[in-house]
Amino acid sequence: MSPVRCRVFSRTGPALCPHLFLCPLRSHRARFNMDLMENLTQHIHRDTISPHPVGQGGYSDIYTGIWNSVYGERKVAIKVIRATPSVSTSGEMPRALRREISVWRRLLHPNIHGLCGVYEGIGPLPALVSLWNDNGDINKFVRQHAADTDVASLKLNLFAGVANGLKHLHDNHIVHGDIKGGNVLISDQGVARLCDFGLSRLLLDHSQSTTTTGRGTGTVRWMAPELLEEGVCHSFATDIWACGCLFIEVWSDVKPYHTKRNDQQVFLAHARREGPDRPPDIPDMLWLIVEACCCIDTAKRTSISHVIMYIRGLLISQRVLPTAASSRSIEPVEREPLREITQQLSEVSLPTDGDLDTEIVRIFGLWTLSPGNSGQLRGAVFQWCLAKLSIRGLHLPAGVDTPPVENDDLLGTFSASHERAMLRLLAKLVEQERPGLADQLMKKFSTPTLGCLLNIDMDVRSVTWVPDGSRIAVGCGNSHVRILDAATGTTVHRLSGHTDQVNQVAVSPNGSLVASCSNDRSIRLWDTVTGLAFGAPLVGHSNFAKSVVFSPDGTRVVSGSDDGTIRVWSTETCTPVQLGPLPRHRGRVETVAYSPDGSRIVSGSRDRTVRIWNAHTGGAVLTLDGHTGWIRSVAYSPDGLHIVSGSKDCTVRIWNVATGQQVGAPLVGHNKSVSHVAYSPDGTRIVSSSDDGTIRLWNAETRASITTLAGHTGTILSAAFSPDGKRLASASQGGTVCVWDATDEWMRWDI
């Protein structure tokens, strides 16, 4: 029998055999499908292979060699599987080897160490060939850079690479099974790459756990405790646990469970369902993600996507926040809240979604809440961030409490004066680090709310602006009319005289008078300067007066009532104007409006029709049919060519005044009754309010939705554009009056 040159294997590694003999394990090569990977045997000269292993694993030894590739000579690592007596009889190792090749060969990712091919010539089994990395593993690399000033950023970048590589595995339904520092190599470019797929499994049927095949459960100190249980195997969740242990290992240069002297103590900690011990040098912000990875409850253990988003947020914030604290371009009004935020920034909440912009605001808003580091402003900033993110998922270290806001008014003052300036500044800085993220930040976390002017314990049923934009008139459910300062919300006048709830208010074109209508069936006029009643009440309706509006010249008001009639009144004499009888609606009149030229009156009724009347003769002009619910609000466009109506059927409709035909399809978006509609002063937009608690802005020409404003806690009964069209005022059944930015400036960071 012809002798075959072979190697003798031992636990300390192979050495060249001094004798020539037939190796019985040679037959395994015949059973191994060499078509799985390129055979590099002819391209790696034996003389270039190291005489002894340069590294060892659990069941393999690593040699180096020179590969004559198409790109030139490359130093490679040659992973040689150790042969044991059981291999020759059971064939277990060849199956494990085939599995490793099967998994490794399909992986192509910047954070996965690539498999180049196989090599025959060292031992009985094919050896696995990959490029050599002079930087070594992640622990060696970090130790070499321990004195660098930016070593924290270096570690975070490496963690991001590990997480990206692990996500690639999980996205391809592969569990690694042995995540630890020794299995993360660092490329010549400083990129972290996962390696050693000996325990990796390709998940079948896209499940999240493996079947019990092969040997080994990974390295004890990185092993998830559930792997001790009968029938539990590696899964995505066990990889996440090991990833958290890797963060401990690399950041602190200690092994996980570093207070446990041996593996037996680690097993005991697992049995007690104890997580890894916290090294003293790990900052809170990193420990929180370690806790999320190493959560005993697998159902609550975080995902690799959350880990990636969290680390990316930390990396960006680490660069942005110091700039925010020291930038000379910061305005004085912005500097103090930023200083408060960045003073001891080290606390963040766990991710509850996968959005990078959310993580940035988390890190921006949560910081060390240590004793002696308090302050009302800091508490207000914290509360603002919680309001933006919701308290769901908030996680703080043991013993750390949410800071109280002693003065409730402080938060409102802070939000009004600092919120948008803070967010714009953060967006500008973040945009420099990651273009495109600033828009996401503004859209998600900025708000069009400019302030709450009134909050009372009763309905606010109607709101309108004084023509100069300095004041707002509101009608309340307690029979009062209030005139508010539009900037401060201060009540300028409180007008008393009605004996029942006020349904609507209107202001004359010159701003001198306010008209109000009430369930007491009367219409009253008020002097906006003195706050006194102007003339006698206008009485004539036999049921609730629901709507009132001034004519364009201010000499008349028109009112609609639940008695089904429309009445016109002189503001000079406070008496009815005799137009002849206006035909009655078949139902209650909910809303009325004048055309811009004063020649027409439009009304909406519970009979589901919109009707146009001649304002001089009282004659009927057109009836507009189409709504399937009763009409709650109507308004003319500034050019007088169109009418907009809002209905109980949840739709907004636009009508051509000349033809009486509906223009296009209904504007659909509200899911409850539309309570009020109005055109912007330039006629380009329409505002609608609804019982669903939202306000919507629409493009009047295209009928497309522009934005939805949410913030009221109940039914919104009225909404009105400011005279310049840049603001909106709204009134709610919950007793609030809010002012909104009606432009897109609230979403812009570049102004």
d(Cα 709, Cα 416) in Å, to the nearest integer?
17
Return the residue matching tokens 């009156």: 601
Of 636, 665, 639, the C-alpha closest to 652 is 665
d(Cα 334, Cα 353) in Å, to the nearest integer?
29
d(Cα 727, Cα 450) in Å, to the nearest integer?
9
Contact 81, 59 (CB under 8 A): yes
Residue 61: CB atoms within 10 A of its CB come to 23
Sequence letter at residue 728: L
d(Cα 534, Cα 617) in Å, to the nearest integer?
27
* DSSP type of residue 289: H
DSSP letters for 430-441: HHHHSTTHHHHH
Sequence letter at residue 119: Y
d(Cα 225, Cα 227) in Å, to the nearest integer?
5
d(Cα 684, Cα 702) in Å, to the nearest integer?
10
The tokens of 550 are what?
């001034």
* DSSP type of residue 576: B
Contact 78, 64 (CB under 8 A): yes
3-state SS, one letter per residue, for 435-458: CCHHHHHHHHHCCCEEEEEEECCC
d(Cα 234, Cα 504) in Å, to the nearest integer?
67
DSSP letters for 37-70: S-B-GGGB-GGGS-SS-SEE-SSEEEEEEEEEET
d(Cα 264, Cα 78) in Å, to the nearest integer?
33
180 annotated among ligand-binding-site residues:
no
Q: Where are the alpha helices (DSSP H) in 329-395?
A: 332-342, 356-365, 376-389
- Residues at the annotated binding site? 79
- Residues at the annotated binding site for ATP? 79
